[in-house]
Amino acid sequence: MVDINIKSKWILIVMSGVFSYDLNTELDIACKILRNGGVVAFPTDTVYGLGADVFNEKAVKKIFAIKHRSPALALPVLVSNSLQVGRVAATVSDTAQLLMKHFWPGGLTIIMPKASAVPRSVTAGGDTIAVRMPHHDIPLLLMDKLGYPLIGTSANVSGNPSPLIFEDVEAQFGDTIDFIIRSNTCYGGMESTIVDITSGVSIIVRRGIVSDDAIRNVLSHF
């Protein structure tokens, strides 16, 4: 359960009438909430995202409930460094390392074999996991402070538009999420490209900001 005192501290800051944006304070509050199994919204290089502890089954289920998302749909994971990849992926192949080197941080999501420590609810019961390093300081700083990866899914109720500003996150979720990092710095870019490398052949699952040609060009030098 999220510590009410943490949330109350933020409410008092806002109600005091002397509100000023302090990223370090927001990151500290977000970390405490995430460590207590809460859900936090934050800006990314595409849209506002919802984050939760990827290793906390209750927190993962909370994401599904908040979004009204089918448990048959896997959740993507965000990392802030290569060491965190090893915590969610059972193996990191040479192909994965090459793609990470060229396209991270950025708009490429890589599907890899799932590590056993990751709850199966994250991957909808599957043996693979979708991993990305975002090109945005706030989620990277947040995960560095936490020391572990996060669920990183769009901050919208399933079927609704994905928000670019925190006011739209509030409008969709109200008090059902525990905290919002209030920095309207989403870049609003294209969605990430998803590539599955688990079969030994790189397969584009979803086209996005990283082009097929760019991926082929990198892999052709492998």
pTM of the entire structure?
0.90
Annotation: CATH topology of 23-218: DHBP synthase (3.90.870)
Q: Within a 10 A sphere around the Cβ of 175, how many other Cβ atoms?
A: 7
54-106 pLDDT, tens digit each: 999 999 999 999 999 999 999 999 999 999 999 999 999 999 999 999 999 99
Which pLDDT value is given to residue 189?
75
Helices (H), the chain: 4-15, 23-35, 57-67, 82-88, 94-103, 137-146, 166-173, 212-220
By the 8 A CB rule, do 100 and 85 touch?
A: yes
d(CA 152, CA 120): 16
By the 8 A CB rule, do 195 and 203 touch?
A: yes
Domain ranges within the chain, ordered by starting residue: 23-218
Nearest 5°: the CA angle 94, 100, 101 is 90
Which pLDDT value is given to residue 140?
98
By the 8 A CB rule, do 218 and 47 touch?
A: no
- pLDDT surpassing 60 at residue 10: no
